[in-house]
Amino acid sequence: MADVVIRATRNGSYHVKGKVILQDSAGNEIPTKEEMWLCRCGQSQNKPFCDSSHSKVKFVSIVKKDEVKLDS
């Protein structure tokens, strides 16, 4: 099993479990915890973390394994 699991939650954030290095766009390390939720809707006021704004904007995205194509 992988050391890190990232789950696209139903109509919400990415749930990250495991020890990761998270960097900003300049490559600076952002402090993290071993369990966190990253914004997937783009509306968080605390990016890259989820602040539950996805509920207010009624973000809709359900990721299903059979519909995902691996980027080449």
Residue 41 binding ligand FES, by CB under 6 A: yes
Buried b (16+ CB within 10 A) or exposed e, 40-70: bbebbeeebbbeebbeeeebeeeeeeeeeee
- Shortest separation between residue 14's beta carbon and ligand FES, angstroms: 8
Binding residue (CB under 6 A) for ligand FES from 2, 6, 13, 27: 13
- Shortest separation between residue 72's beta carbon and ligand FES, angstroms: 26
Which residue type sits at 62?
A: I
What residue ranges bind ligand FES (CB under 6 A)?
12-13, 39-41, 43-44, 50-54
